[in-house]
């Protein structure tokens, strides 16, 4: 029990320093945290406890960039840290509670594009840090690094789509949003039972169990949304991989890639080690 309390004191002291290291990211963090707390209070009054729980998760997620920096001794660029904080707030509070996914066309697409770019940056930095480490003797080419970043980003995108499908399938949610289409091409509808796509075009109404849905077309159950999300994830991964390649070739001269790639912490910014030393002294 004493060890847990000691670890808590160390992490709390180090986290406070980490959060305040960069003024701009700390201001963004403080504003977003205050907004989440405000939304949480409103949800309590509305007795929407599911959203209260979601706000609690968001508060924890907002601390994750600082936690990662402490535990892994890496320094997130201020631009990357701010983007991650805004991404979390946009996805959880604005997207889910504010219903921006429904109210604003392209909101989900924007977030998935950013996810592709951010995931590529994370995958790239993990290999780049090893590649530059003096503890390891191998040296990887810029092309290989960008391929790893791209594949890592696409893997994260696929795993997320698996998660969305699982939530829809087993918990009866609707994370894979439906799309209204006006044409169907299916071999299952071929009257002769052949492997020939039968086309139904110009669909403007659909009746289910004798009830008109009033959608103006046929309801696709998530496939188009999934493929669109993977495509924009692909776009984000390609964009970062392009800049990441020239970042390695020029060894850090690409401002765009540099603003998104974590670096190893300098000794004077290793707040976790400093907090551990202060705890020993006290």
Q: Among residues 200, 161, 208, which one has the least CA distance to residue 183? A: 200
Cα 96 to Cα 90: distance, rounded to the nearest angstrom? 9
pLDDT of residue 142: 85
| 8 A C-beta contact, residue 66 and residue 19 | yes
Nearest 5°: phi and psi at 230? -70, -35
Q: How many CB atoms lie within 10 A of CB 197?
A: 12
Q: What is the mean pLDDT of each run of 10 residues along the chain (282 residues)?
A: 78 86 92 97 94 95 92 88 95 94 92 94 84 64 89 95 94 88 91 91 88 87 92 95 86 76 77 77 68
What distance in Å separates the CA atoms of residue 184 and residue 174, rounded to the nearest whole number?
A: 22
pLDDT at 260: 85
Which pTM value belongs to this model?
A: 0.87
Q: Which helix (H) or strand (E) holds 107?
A: helix 107-132
Q: Indicate the burial class of 148 (C-beta count within 10 angstroms; 0-12, 13-18, 19 or more).
A: buried
Rounded to an integer, what distance in angstroms lies between the CA atom of residue 259 and that of residue 80?
6
pLDDT at 125: 86
* pLDDT for residue 52: 96
């Amino acid at each position: 029990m004493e060890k847990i309390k000691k670890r808590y004191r160390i992490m709390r002291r180090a986290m406070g320093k980490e959060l305040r290291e960069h003024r701009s990211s700390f201001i963004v963090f403080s504003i977003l945290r205050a907004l989440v707390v405000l939304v949480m209070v409103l949800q309590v009054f509305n007795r929407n406890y599911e959203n209260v729980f979601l706000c609690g998760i968001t508060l924890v997620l907002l601390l994750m960039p600082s936690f990662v920096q402490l535990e892994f001794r890496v320094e997130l660029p201020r631009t990357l840290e701010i983007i991650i904080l805004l991404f979390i707030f946009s996805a959880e509070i604005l997207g889910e509670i504010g219903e921006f996914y429904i109210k604003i066309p392209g909101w989900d697409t924007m977030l998935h594009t950013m996810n592709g770019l951010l995931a590529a940056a994370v995958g790239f930095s993990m290999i780049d840090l090893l590649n530059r480490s003096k503890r390891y003797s191998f040296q990887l080419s810029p092309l290989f690094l960008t391929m790893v970043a791209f594949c890592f980003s696409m893997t994260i995108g696929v795993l997320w789509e698996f998660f969305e499908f699982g939530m829809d399938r087993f918990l009866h949610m609707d994370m894979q949003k439906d799309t209204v289409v006006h044409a169907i091409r299916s071999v299952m509808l071929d009257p002769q039972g052949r492997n020939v796509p039968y086309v139904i075009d110009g669909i403007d109404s659909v009746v289910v169990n004798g009830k008109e849905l009033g959608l103006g077309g046929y309801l696709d159950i998530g496939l188009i949304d999934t493929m669109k999300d993977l495509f924009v994830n692909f776009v984000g991964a390609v964009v970062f991989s392009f800049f990441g390649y020239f970042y390695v070739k020029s060894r850090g001269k690409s401002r765009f890639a540099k603003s998104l790639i974590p670096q190893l912490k300098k000794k004077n910014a290793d707040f976790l080690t400093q907090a551990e030393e202060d705890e020993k002294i006290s």
